[in-house]
Amino acid sequence: MPNRHSYQSQIPRVVSHQEEEVAASAENNVFSHDSTFTLCKKLMIYKMMGSNLFINYSLMGINVAYKVFGTKLTNFAIENTAASVFTGGVTVADLTKAESELELRGIGTIGCYVVEGVRDAEN
């Protein structure tokens, strides 16, 4: 066992019911219900979000995409890629559906406004 001295490994360990529940719920983690496609999508998005190139130029990229592709197409692309990984949806109905789904899995949720929802970049 990690972080135990040799004399401690000889002492029987008493495990509480709460620790047993936590160990059992570890099998039912956030990613356990995801398909292989969704896991690959999340990996790519997490890697992209950690990229300095993406971090430094994402606002400029969104502004260019709004001008070239329009607001609706750009928002559709964002909502169906990165936003679907980090948020429960666009509307309160989307959030309620996501909250119910996650509650069945034993995963807690919070609801809040995010800056991606702001339509005017000046605000």
pLDDT tens for 57-85 read 999 999 999 999 999 999 899 888 888 88
Cβ-defined contacts of 87-91 (< 8 Å, 24+): 87/114, 87/116, 90/117
Torsions phi, psi for 57 (to 5 deg): -120, 10
- Residue 111's nearest CA partner among 102, 121, 122 is 102
Beta carbons of 21 and 106 less than 8 angstroms apart: no
pTM, two decimal places: 0.58
With a cut of 90, say whether residue 29 has pLDDT above it. Answer: no
Query: Can you give the pLDDT at residue 73?
Result: 94
Residue 27 is given by DSSP the state T
Mean per-residue pLDDT for 84-97?
83
